[in-house]
Amino acid sequence: MKIHVVKIGGNLINDKKLLDSSLEAFCQLKGNKVLIHGGGKKANLISDQMGITTKLIQGRRITDKKTLDIVVMTYAGLINKNIVAKLQSSDCNALGLCGADGNCIKSSFRLKRTKTDIDYGYVGDIPNKSSINTSLIKLILENHIVPVLCPITHNGKGSLLNTNADTIAAYIAISLINYGEVELHFCFEKKGVLRNVHDSESYFPRIDFRLFQKIKKNHSIKNGMIPKLENAFFALKNGVSKVSIGLPYYLNDVKNKTILCP
């Protein structure tokens, strides 16, 4: 069987119309599928409304206890349940999960390697493949239910932790390779990985690991795109058949996006 693991993020989550059309495209995918969503900007909005300042160091969010509460409310509550209700209304039998649900994804507080390392607070990293409860995901898929995962995990000791959604998508894809041919799709509001950020048509149709190293070195790509591509190549190296990056509308297409290859 084919298993599609789809991550939707970026501005697709913040805009109701974009989100709805992304979910429509997801519904049309045939076969087994898993959805993973992000939602950072929405959490910033809620933080602002609650008068809580978002702390960023080197562009990364510091998750103190109050911020953790906000991301849990926003990701696992507001965004996840609205996505599930929308999919249900389109006859897609979705079931929302965070990593604590059924011990789905276990993580560990991000390690501080030296005393001067930044303390990210309630941020969880996934230690390895065995941190994914594959049998639960498999049970859900076998019952024709579509798991919808938000980027909240747990450490097994009672703490919820904020985890990168792209990393979750890569690990979920890898965890399923023994059950079928797994395709991983990173969807956002652009056509693919752009050569020139100011030209929306300038996407690379194909990036292999060598090209990735090159464009990383010459700064053609930067910021969030580098870890996204690192997750993509990590998935490819660990048995995922295909990884694509692009618009959600071309999920079923082979063209009009960036295809990653080993």
Q: Taking contact as CB under 8 A, which single stretch among the options 27-35, 82-90, 110-118, 167-175 is the one that binds a copy of itself?
A: 82-90
Q: Which is nearer to a copy of itself, 65 or 255 (CB)?
A: 65
| Subset of 195-224 contacting a copy of itself (CB under 8 A) | none
β-pair type (94-97, 152-154): unpaired
> Rounded to the nearest whole angstrom, what is the least distance from the CB of residue 10 to a copy of itself in the complex?
21
> Rounded to the nearest whole angstrom, what is the least distance from the CB of residue 11 to a copy of itself in the complex?
19
State the number of binding residues for a copy of itself (CB under 8 A).
41
45 binds a copy of itself (CB under 8 A): no
Beta bridge partners of 94: 146
- Say if residues 150 and 78 touch (Cβ distance below 8 Å): no
Tokens 């919820």: give the residue: 160
Beta bridge partners of 203: 194
98 binds a copy of itself (CB under 8 A): yes
DSSP code for 8: E
- Say if residues 130 and 183 touch (Cβ distance below 8 Å): no
15 binds a copy of itself (CB under 8 A): no
17 binds a copy of itself (CB under 8 A): no
Report how far residue 218's alpha carbon sits from residue 224's, in angstroms, rounded to the nearest whole number.
16
Report how far residue 78's alpha carbon sits from residue 196's, in angstroms, rounded to the nearest whole number.
34
Q: Taking contact as CB under 8 A, which single stretch among the options 119-127, 149-157, 225-233, 251-259 is the one that binds a copy of itself?
A: 149-157
65 binds a copy of itself (CB under 8 A): no
β-pair type (60-62, 160-162): unpaired
Secondary structure (3-state) at 205: coil
35 binds a copy of itself (CB under 8 A): no
User: For residue 252, what are the contacts with CB-CB under 8 A and spacing of at least 6?
Assistant: 25, 28, 29
> Rounded to the nearest whole angstrom, what is the least distance from the CB of residue 99 to a copy of itself in the complex?
9
Q: Which residues of this chain interact with a copy of itself, rule CB under 8 A?
A: 46, 49-51, 69, 72-78, 80-82, 84-86, 88-89, 93-98, 100-103, 136, 139, 143, 145, 152, 154, 156-160
